Amino acid sequence: MSLQFKTDALALVAGSLAKTLEPPAALSPSSWAVRNLVMPDGPRQGDTWSAEETPYIIEPLDFLGPDSPVNEIAVMKAAQTGFTAMLIAVIAHSIDRDPCRMMVIQPTDAALSDFNREKLQPAIDASTALRDKVIPQTSRSATGSTTYSKRYPGGSLTLAIASSAADLRSKTIKKLFRDEVDEYPDDLDGQGDPIAISDARLFAFLNQGDWKKADVSTPTIKGASKIERRYEQGDKRRWHIPCHHCGDEFVFEFGPHFCYEQQHPFKAHYVSPCCGAVIEAHEKRSLVRKGRWVATDPRPGAFPSYHFDQLSSPFVPWDDLAKAAIEASASHKTLQVFHNMRLGRPYEVKGDAPDHVRLMERRESDLKRGHIPPRGVILTAAADVQMRGIWVEVVAFAPNRETWVVDALYLDGSTESPDGEAFKQLEQRVLDREWPDSFGKTRKIDALGVDSGYRSHVVYAWTRAKQRIHPDHGLAAVLALKGAEGWGRPAMGTPGLVDIDLAGARVRRGARVWPVGTWPLKAAFYEDLRKEGRAAGKEADPPGYCHFPFWLDETYFRQITSEYLTDETYRGKTRRIWKLSGGEKDNHLLDCRVYNLALAEHLGLSSLTEDEWAGLARERGVPVPAEPEAKATEDDDLDKRLERLGRLNAERFR
């Protein structure tokens, strides 16, 4: 009896041990997420993930699982569509069910910190299956997690940024997840494309065939968009929904079938292209749940690639999309944002410059040189330093982005040192000058930006020595600027500290250098130049319209129209870049205008509210005349009020 009992006990122990060592039953990433993943944010924050609202995520998510033969996918998507949850889910599933070495790449350190702090780490902390496996950062062991690495039995997850070659070259990985790839630089300090560099991390697993790669991003500029290129390489899948009337399938597209009124409440609805049935906004979600992915360009070797926009997103009401579409027509910038963020489409930039002769024909004779126009609330100046002399443009901005050239000059003289004649003129004739307005007062410029691309150390030294804070807005009034290539760059980026003086010695308090996204700003300027106003017989000058005084000569207009957009092969890939037109040799004043646009954005051109604009105008002494004609009605916006004031006061103080 005792021997039999011992045998049974051994069998029981052996069986238990075998079950412990036995690999877990196969579970797809989407099935695992439904059971285990607690959502870190969004409408379902604190609840386990559900595919009910976002069924379109299931297929690409499961393709990234270990049992799928698919190795790579690409997602070109709009904002607020839920695909960040897909990345969190596949990472979480891998940690629990397929542990290995992985890497997730974000475009910047700030984006990486936000991803970790607001999404990844909260998901790990809230999900039991992950919390018990990911070694906490507080562990004293060398195997503990760090700020940029999550460690767990069987592998690790590296958190990297696309601007660090060291991050991208340091690991051999099995799974690679790249987020917002359109914001990646084209080149890492001459070391190559960050996408190509990170692809090389997978080489060790290519022969095994079990590697995984996902690229997810909103697009930027057509022809320059990295995610557009990846989408085109794939089979171009779209989410097809069944018509609730006839059953035919189609894709919700922004165009003639998406109908809405031009004012609140908009009453947005969709007319099905198959039978003309009206789909009301409240019916969208139920139809989206019944949809399926269909490859629109299936072919041998094409991996699954997806395009998804806000028309099908369960998180964005159609009326909200209609409102955004109406507001998008205000400027090139808002139109691009609408295409990229709302429609998930790359925006096509018109790369041809307007004819400089036509621009000269619309010069205005009533604009006095050196005088701020009535509606010019913000005043900026930009300087382009050359081997000899400095080109300068002074521009006034209205709240609706209309601009006026207040002055344009060439300051002749030496630029070899901060004490050179050209820099002395820049201080006296621009920085310290009192610029008269249309109301009998004077103002100094809000900000002067100096291009540091040439004679960099001289510019650093001069801007550091002349630094001052503007009393009205409390921001620096003198800035060293540096143009930055790329379509995903902001108008004005985060400044870097340069602590080298003219002699190459380190200084305690260096100059701050501000990167400027010149490519999108140049496109925005050319879009504004094409706008027609009163000079062309229109009823009014549109937002962003560019006013030019009669005293500007042909040199000015040739320079501001001196570039065009073209394709270039760069490291084996095609990208869209700006080039100097044939026959033109100078683009200094175009550079000045681009920097002026960046300065205006830095000062709040696109972010100030109506009340803030009105307050700024009051601070600058815009008078409120007693004439009945000048009294504003409740329907008047600030631009109309300032225009009325200007008409009454311009002649009085001219």
Identify the pLDDT of residue 406: 97
Q: Which residue has the higher pLDDT, 261 or 2?
A: 261
Q: How far apart are CA 194 and CA 198, in angstroms?
A: 6
Does residue 281 have a pLDDT over 90?
yes
Q: Which residue has the higher pLDDT, 17 or 80?
A: 80
Identify the pLDDT of residue 67: 93
pLDDT tens per residue across span 501-557:
555 555 566 678 999 999 889 988 998 998 888 888 888 888 899 999 999 999 999
Give the CA angle between residues 362, 368, 372 to the nearest 5°.
Answer: 105
SS3 state of residue 570: strand
Average pLDDT, the chain: 85
**% of the chain beyond a pLDDT of 70:** 86
Residue 489: Cβ-neighbour burial (10 angstroms; 0-12, 13-18, 19+): buried
Q: How far apart are CA 559 and CA 381, in angstroms?
A: 17
Q: Which residue has the higher pLDDT, 345 or 207?
A: 345
Identify the pLDDT of residue 355: 85
pLDDT tens per residue across span 86-107:
999 999 999 999 999 999 999 9
Q: Which residue has the higher pLDDT, 5 or 349?
A: 349
Are 160 and 105 in contact by the 8 Å Cβ rule? The answer is yes
- Listed by start position, the domains of the chain span 29-342, 356-612, 624-654
Q: Which residues contact 377 (CB under 8 A, 6 or more apart)?
A: 396, 397, 398, 399, 613, 616, 617, 620, 642
Identify the pLDDT of residue 626: 37
Identify the pLDDT of residue 493: 87
The separation between CA 578 and the C-alpha centre of its own chain, rounded to angstroms, equals 19
- Where does 35-183 show beta strands of DSSP type E? 72-77, 101-106, 149-152, 155-161, 175-179
Q: Which residue has the higher pLDDT, 207 or 639?
A: 207
SS3 state of residue 157: strand
Identify the pLDDT of residue 486: 81
Identify the pLDDT of residue 571: 65
> Hunting for tokens 């320059």 — which residue is that?
224
Does residue 587 have a pLDDT over 80?
yes
- For 423-435, what is the mean pLDDT? 95
Q: Which of 14-23, 203-212, 287-296 has the highest mean pLDDT?
A: 287-296
Assign residue 282 a region: left if phi > 0, alpha if psi is -120 to 50, beta otherwise?
alpha
Least confident of 6-10, 178-182, 211-215: 6-10
pTM, rounded to two decimals: 0.72
Identify the pLDDT of residue 650: 38
Identify the pLDDT of residue 258: 95
How would residue 55 be classed by pLDDT, with cut points 50, 70 and 90?
very high
Identify the pLDDT of residue 306: 98
How would residue 327 be classed by pLDDT, with cut points 50, 70 and 90?
confident
Q: How far apart are CA 58 and CA 81, in angstroms?
A: 13
Does residue 121 have a pLDDT over 60?
yes
- For 324-346, what is the mean pLDDT? 86
- For 355-362, what is the mean pLDDT? 89
Helix 83-97 crosses helix 29-36 at what angle (to 10 degrees)? 90
Dihedral of CA atoms 492, 496, 497, 501 in degrees, nearest 10, equals -80
Does residue 653 have a pLDDT over 80?
no
Q: Which fold has domain 356-612?
A: Nucleotidyltransferase; domain 5 (3.30.420)
Does residue 586 have a pLDDT over 90?
no
Identify the pLDDT of residue 616: 85
Does residue 652 have a pLDDT over 80?
no
One-character DSSP codes across 314-382? TTS-HHHHHHHHHHHTT-HHHHHHIIIIIT--PBPP--SPPPHHHHHHT-BTTPPTT---TT--EEEEE
29-342 matches 356-612 in fold: no
Identify the pLDDT of residue 42: 74
Q: Which residue has the higher pLDDT, 304 or 493?
A: 304
Identify the pLDDT of residue 654: 32
Provide the H-helix boundaries in 116-216: 121-126, 128-131, 165-169, 194-199
Identify the pLDDT of residue 106: 94
Q: Which residue has the higher pLDDT, 610 or 423?
A: 423
- For 586-594, what is the mean pLDDT? 94
pLDDT tens per residue across span 615-632:
888 888 765 443 333 344
Does residue 635 have a pLDDT over 50?
no
> Hunting for tokens 């702090």 — which residue is that?
117
pLDDT tens per residue across span 132-148:
899 887 655 556 567 78
Q: Which residue has the higher pLDDT, 600 or 643?
A: 600
Instruction: Please check whether the domain covering 29-342 is classified as CATH 1.10.4160.10.
Output: no
